[in-house]
Amino acid sequence: MKILITGGCGFVGSNLAIYLTKKSSKYKIYSLDNLHRDGSKINMKRLHSFGIKNYKLDISNNNLSSLPRFDLIIDCCAETAIEDSKKIPKKVFYTNLVGTFNLLEKIKKEKSNVIFLSSSRVYSIKKLNSLIKNKKKKILPKIKIDETFSNDSPISLYGFTKLSSEMLIKEYSYMYNFKYIINRFGVISGPWQFGKVDQGFISLWVARHINKKKLSYKGYGGYGNQLRDVIHINDVCEIIYKQIRKIKSISNLTFDIGGGLKNTISLRDLTKKCQKISKNKLKIFKEKHTSLFDVPYFVSNNFKVRKYYNWKPKLSSNDIIRDIYKWLINNKKIMEKYF
């Protein structure tokens, strides 16, 4: 099976490409990436060491006709930083939505199947904010977000492009009869993630503790009580591998996938864990202003994906922090340059 991974030199794409290459000799993996993100050239070298070719193309430009046919396309390509919805809206729109359209034009001609990496940010910001009334206290509501949760606006331009891409995939599948899977992932983290404040906060937090650099609790009064469930990149790779194997019998479905309640963590809890593993204690500053796009809480409901694939995340938030710490300690040049 020939598989193309778009965004293949990004965090998720590169880990997935290497995982699938190791997992089965039946898969011939290719990457598509324009190499503009931090760390993408480092990841391309990792791919090359496993014999994985990268096509340096931008999917937002309709220049995919030069590519060969693939049996499956796994779309990991996106402008993922949520704050970019306001800073660079045109780039977010073209990469995320026009890029999906260009891929679908290729897919319809070649009858390929597609696995689309969507996002938990397709859900209503207002409805998520309404789940927790008092942001000062540590509250863990027993609410898990499933695929039926509200998509009412606002959801950010990023969320809009992801939700619109989902709808576009469904319409094309109906018209041109190919199979799809849509995965709405929560926070994915692990080694080889070049984290920033608004994307990849776990790796950023670990690195800043190792380097003793400044950190801030941003938004909701600056208390650090926002809650997210986190999922290890290895668990992400495992569920996608299961989906590839069963795509002939299980397809045309949308799944919420994340770490679940057991792997839910606040910034305050993350700070304590980073202090413990790094042996460094930082002063965390408060920034009370809350971004238009921030939400106080998100925990994925894995019921549906567990039902169809008998899958659940194996690795804990502690495993994620430990693996990132080991990766950074063993790659000090990367840590110094990118964090």
- In the chain the domains, ranked by start, together with CATH numbers, are 2-338 (3.40.50.720)
User: pLDDT at position 47, please?
Assistant: 98
Dist. CA 304–CA 281, nearest whole Å: 40
Q: List pLDDT tens digits, range 25-46.
A: 999 999 999 998 889 999 999 9
pLDDT band at 141 (very low <50, low <70, confident <90, very high): low
Tokens of 114: 């597609």
Task: Check pLDDT > 70 for residue 133.
Answer: no
CB neighbours of residue 69 within 10 Å: 12
Dist. CA 12–CA 36, nearest whole Å: 15
Dist. CA 337–CA 103, nearest whole Å: 34
pLDDT band at 336 (very low <50, low <70, confident <90, very high): confident
User: pLDDT at position 334, please?
Assistant: 87
Q: List pLDDT tens digits, range 44-56.
A: 999 999 999 999 9
Task: Check pLDDT > 90 for residue 194.
Answer: yes
Q: List pLDDT tens digits, range 163-183.
A: 999 999 999 999 999 999 999
User: Is 339 or 97 the better-scoring residue by pLDDT?
Assistant: 97
Tokens of 139: 């509250």
Peptide bond into 154 cis (omega under 30): yes
Eight-class DSSP state of 232:
E
Is 0.75 surpassed by the pTM of this model? yes
- Provide the phi-psi class of 95: left if phi over 0, else alpha when psi is between -120 and 50, else beta: alpha
User: pLDDT at position 116, please?
Assistant: 98
Dist. CA 288–CA 307, nearest whole Å: 41
